[in-house]
Structure 1
């Protein structure tokens, strides 16, 4: 019996030797994050402790970053300074693109003008359009049948765009041109089916460097083959942004989602909750409608939300103690956003620092209180703005007051700053009062071209913007000095004292078509003169005017100032087109406006968006039609 049993075991073992055994399976491992966040004590227990941001370009970071987009477009309305010389591949792309949009069809407003004829005209130029789109930008919303499709509530996030002539063309100037609607795509500039999805559209009048004579094409430093369209871009689709957990966990992802939706509940018109968990590693973020114009602040508050809030007052007190113990700028910045994320229940603790002797904790508390719209912080902020302390602290106080709810104490407290000797304080106070609609500030929208702001002051100042909404701010009593004889733009604009009225100046302007127009008895007051340059005479408004563009108006004012016919300081807003986000540095960072005419060496110059020749591929992909209307 034992021999039989042994034989059976031997046979069984031999038969099993040909059976393939199950291999050892690999165990699941946690993914390694491409971003390793440094977590100081002040941030422990917050969303930022556990996540990194992933924007549209799928990169990890601890800061929200913008996206680069580009596309080929067409500028019309040039006065013989355009060009038809472009690479054959780009020409084929533009002809096909314009045809899809309806160019050549009488219903589109261009009659029988074909795309080829339009491109071959010397009054048009093929251009490259590029822009930086803020991350987490909101797209245009579809209009209902009873809603105007152009209503501002439907608009997506807007931004400035940079436009320059196609490098191989012989275009000499884009001055006075209008950019037809142009689709912008993320990534490398291409044509054909290799193009990425359209994310934005850009159009509008071009803004060329106004601080030079437009006709002196070969005699100065100005590059008129490039310009920008102020606030001319609009995002068409929602730009997704996600939080990526550094240590994936379903439970933690659920806690983060709940904490975010507690602070940012779904708003009317929002297409879903603010935070939605995708898996154990990623959480999708939607920007609420009330925050679409300030995504950077929204992201800062979101990432500083405390996950488990049982007693906000206790957490606010802990933050206060850590800040007082280590009053570093880094801790101050984190404390500001943590307090703001906690909400109004943190105010009793924050108010304890409004009169704290150490400037860093005091300023952090005031910034947090101001962000929470605390009315008790107003007198302290006004005092700080008027105090003889550091310039950065005073500008910070003005910045906080700018966003506070309506309060007569703010307007009354800031008006004396319009007469201080410090130019930076005057300008910031003016900007603050303008945004707060102070009744002592006169604001005019001139021909839908720009806003003209007139402010009473003991100091004469001219301040012009180069980004966003075009704006000219005139403070003081500025008039054109006489006697004078000034000509500019190749004698197309001549200004001199009137021979018939001692209290007026005579202006002669020659249009591009060769027609001359002489106007006398124009007031030398700069606000009136500025409106005269912009006004277009119509039967409804027959007063005289030259109907100049914003760019040329600034150029004329600057020519008068440069030739010392205007006794005023001339300041220009810094160009923030390539910055694209409101703040990436600490809350107290301050960059001084440059005096016009001073050239600073740019040691950190941003590279061109488009590097190398464009990649051209066969034209096969269908595109959405858009209406072309200058």
Structure 2
């Protein structure tokens, strides 16, 4: 089952040799593929790459000696800007109802007083900080690798002191997030790198020994925003201006048609700029940079493409690196890789087609679609993610809608995420109460509710016949919900959190879409006197759905977000070096 996504990204020592990184990537890939229900992965992998005796005697090529690495940028340099950067700040959560607190170190209170004056809130800083309807918090975020200005990321919000009992229902006012540096004299704060603001999400899926502690920690999904792009630089292992200039010219020739992407600022440093066409795909751009050959002469590229076509047929070839090397060369390699589309080795077939499709080869699209549709295919989830590529065309759109109704729920969620990226017409989005988005996905399969816990407050209903079934009940300080066996309507009472006044009895049918709308829409009445909504937060709506699911009141599966396969693989495969943006 899909699990709650975590805020903390796994880190690795980017400075490790490429060979070790490749082994790590292979290990993780095997683990992730095994999670797709393919049975004993060791056996399947052995059968998949079964070799004859003559093949067994062939030396296994080390990744460092592969043609995918030789004569490329990564053979001469490393890239700065690939590490996750931690930022932190202090902020104020407002909108609480008697659950906040004012206790915090004096220097933090003084800092927030200055911030309140600077931002001209129009309210006394002392009044704000001393109110039990506000809470002083520490805000922490992890800025993704290669992030660009304006990019959003999740932040963790944690109450300071001991007075605050809950952040539920609160709103983080905009605060600055700064770079931190650990020194022998303590932690030093650097420049403001990002800002953060937004509604607090309290996950109902995490349970500690003391459940009350969970209410003091929340997240703002997509609440952090980067003020300036992460610095991206190629650093040569052996400084030489001649080599730096050659790399600059090669990268600008390959990727800088609209504007230069590389500038040799010194004999050992080449400043990188992500081209506008690859905004949102910064990691992919860096992958291509690292796998770009220094020599771009047509004769050399043709020869190297043919060498890689031979190498990828080896049972233990560095498939991903070869695919990226082909892609970095450009469309001229297509004649060399098309014969691999039908290779008997599934890995060679997939990675050749991946390069082809990314280069705009329509013949490759069908191969990727086949991998995505094939139950038990070890590259199925990765193939689905590849269908987000605009070059995949209409064939991908049709396949994705089919996959959204697949028996495997992991496949359904992967397809839904790609459909979102493509703005697929089968998704009908609806803003609920100005707080979250409810997606209704037109597809086959049984009903499935998907809860996003990262980047955006978003719910999705996949499949048909999303109804609720009695009996069920839910109660907290804000709302009471109940339905008895055999009834066709829920009985709901909403309590005003400030006045504690209860609403008249509200009734709602068994349609899940209408039920979610009622929970999340702003309170009010229609012209005929019917209530428009209860005004619950996204956290509140998810909490209700989670409880009803536990009681068996949802007719389908209830799944929670997790990181994508490609994101997990990218974290450990990309070489880097110690760096600082302080």
Please give the TM-score of this superposition, normalised by the length of structure 1.
0.74
Residue-by-residue CA offset, 1:66-117 (whole Å, 9 max, x unaligned):
1111111111111111111111222222222322222xxxxx4x3xx31122
Q: In the alignment, which of 296, 316, 319 is matched to residue 305 of structure 2?
A: 316
In structure 2, distance between residues paired with 1:247 and 1:212: 49
Q: In the alignment, which of 196, 199, 206 is matched to residue 200 of structure 2?
A: 206
Aligned to 1:49: 75
SS at the partner of 1:411?
helix
Q: Which runs of 5+ in 2 are unaligned?
A: 1-14, 20-63, 575-582
Residue-by-residue CA offset, 1:211-265 (whole Å, 9 max, x unaligned):
489xxx9973661111111111111123212111011111100001111111221
Q: Which runs of 5+ in 1 are unaligned?
A: 1-33, 56-63, 103-107, 140-155, 588-630
In structure 1, distance between residues paired with 2:75 and 2:396: 37
- Runs of 4 or more above 4 Å deviation: 34-38, 537-543, 579-582
* Farther off after superposition, 307-316 or 515-524: 515-524
2:562 is the counterpart of 1:574? yes
Report the CA distance between 1:419 and its aligned residue: 3.7
2:239 is the counterpart of 1:251? no
Residue-by-residue CA offset, 1:129-172 (whole Å, 9 max, x unaligned):
11111233323xxxxxxxxxxxxxxxx12111111112x34211
Q: In the alignment, which of 240, 253, 256 is matched to residue 231 of structure 2?
A: 240
SS at the partner of 1:493?
strand
Report the CA distance between 1:567 and its aligned residue: 2.4
2:486 is the counterpart of 1:505? no
Aligned to 1:332: 319
Aligned to 2:83: 65
2:140 is the counterpart of 1:130? yes
Aligned to 1:28: none
Against the structure 1 CA distance between its residues 445 and 327, is the aligned structure 2 distance closer, same or farther, given a 3 Å change threshold?
Answer: farther
Report the CA distance between 1:498 and its aligned residue: 11
In structure 2, distance between residues paired with 1:350 and 1:241: 31
Against the structure 1 CA distance between its residues 424 and 238, is the aligned structure 2 distance closer, same or farther, given a 3 Å change threshold?
Answer: closer
Q: In the alignment, which of 546, 550, 553 is matched to residue 565 of structure 1?
A: 553
In structure 2, distance between residues paired with 1:274 and 1:581: 27
Against the structure 1 CA distance between its residues 367 and 446, is the aligned structure 2 distance closer, same or farther, given a 3 Å change threshold?
Answer: same
Aligned to 2:214: 223
Judge conservation of contact 1:137–1:292 (CA < 8 Å) in 2.
no
Aligned to 1:394: 380
Against the structure 1 CA distance between its residues 526 and 319, is the aligned structure 2 distance closer, same or farther, given a 3 Å change threshold?
Answer: same
SS at the partner of 2:482?
strand
Q: Kindly name which structure, 1 or 2, has the bigger radius of gyration based on alpha carbons.
A: 1
Aligned to 2:342: 355
2:490 is the counterpart of 1:496? no
2:178 is the counterpart of 1:185? yes
* Farther off after superposition, 74-83 or 290-299: 290-299
**Which has the larger helix fraction?**
2
Against the structure 1 CA distance between its residues 136 and 189, is the aligned structure 2 distance closer, same or farther, given a 3 Å change threshold?
Answer: same
In structure 2, distance between residues paired with 1:491 and 1:204: 21
* Farther off after superposition, 284-293 or 506-515: 284-293
Against the structure 1 CA distance between its residues 222 and 564, is the aligned structure 2 distance closer, same or farther, given a 3 Å change threshold?
Answer: farther
Q: In the alignment, which of 247, 258, 263 is matched to residue 254 of structure 2?
A: 263
In structure 2, distance between residues paired with 1:290 and 1:379: 25
2:469 is the counterpart of 1:481? yes
Residue-by-residue CA offset, 1:24-68 (whole Å, 9 max, x unaligned):
xxxxxxxxxx8876633320111111001223xxxxxxxx21111
Cα-Cα RMSD: 3.0
Q: In the alignment, which of 526, 537, 561 is matched to residue 512 of structure 2?
A: 526
In structure 1, distance between residues paired with 2:233 and 2:250: 15
Against the structure 1 CA distance between its residues 88 and 549, is the aligned structure 2 distance closer, same or farther, given a 3 Å change threshold?
Answer: same
Aligned to 2:32: none
Against the structure 1 CA distance between its residues 96 and 531, is the aligned structure 2 distance closer, same or farther, given a 3 Å change threshold?
Answer: same
Report the CA distance between 1:366 and its aligned residue: 1.7
Against the structure 1 CA distance between its residues 518 and 561, is the aligned structure 2 distance closer, same or farther, given a 3 Å change threshold?
Answer: farther
Report the CA distance between 1:408 and its aligned residue: 2.8
